[in-house]
Amino acid sequence: MLMQRRQMKKRKDVAAQSLLNKLIRSNLFDNTNQVEVLQRDPNSPLYSVKSFEELRLKPQLLQRVYAMGFNRPSKIQENALPLMLAEPSGVDPKFLRNTRFAKKHNKKGLKKMQANNAKATSALAEAVKALRKPKEVKPKVPKGSSHKLSRLAYTAHPKLGKRACACIAKGLRLCRPKAKDKAQTKAIAVAAAAAAAQAQAPKGPQAPTKAPE
């Protein structure tokens, strides 16, 4: 009896889960259909163009947009794309003047557009990257205020860490006093002493002096 009851409970749970999934899916489909209908209605603030080709975008960008899964532009995308890709990127400036964004909208439509601006810009950021490739930035050698700080920067950075040993050794060599400098200072001191001795010595032949008796 206990086993039969447990099996019945499991069956009820599975049935309830399937019903919930069906309801959720049906609501999702209804919502997407409602959005498509509103986009086609010219009196709705969500009314937009039918395809991305009407926005006069470059073919490279069109391929990127379709690869990301966008099939039809929303109201915000219709207004944001031409403004973001103004000349010299490839959009006709006359088209910008004739956009529906320049026309007056209802306050509700404007509020909806303002609320979704962040979503539209984040979704279009990857598509815009296809047009402008970022330049490679070479890592610069950090210069710390002290030898220890610069040494820490070398060891922390993965690319500069390869050159850390050579740079640290070079820095240690610069910090130490050189042997050549010591030899040069000694030679200069010896030459100065010899010159002073020669200057003090009397010049010309001298008569022999008698020793005192």
The verdict on 171 and 104 lying in the same domain is: no
Report the mean per-residue pLDDT for the chain.
Answer: 61
| pLDDT at 173 exceeding the cut of 60 | no
Residue 124 and residue 69 share a domain: yes
Range of the domain at 104: 45-133
114 within a domain of the structure (yes/no): yes
Does 187 or 11 have the greater pLDDT score?
187
Do 152 and 81 fall into the same domain?
A: no
- Give the number of other CB atoms < 10 A from CB of residue 144: 12
Q: List, as one string, the DSSP characters of 18-85.
A: HHHHHHHHHHHHHHHHHHHHHHH-TTSTT---S-GGGGT--HHHHHHHHHTT--S--HHHHHHHHHHT
Cα–Cα distance, 177 to 158 (Å, whole number): 31
Whether residue 58 sits in one domain with residue 129: yes
Instruction: Look at residue 24 in the predicted model and tell me its pLDDT.
Output: 64
Establish if 26 belongs to a structural domain.
Answer: no
Q: Does residue 62 belong to any structural domain of this protein?
A: yes
Contacting residues for 153 by C-beta, under 8 A, at least 6 apart: 142, 144, 160
Assess if residue 206 is contained within a domain. no
| Number of domains the chain is built from | 2
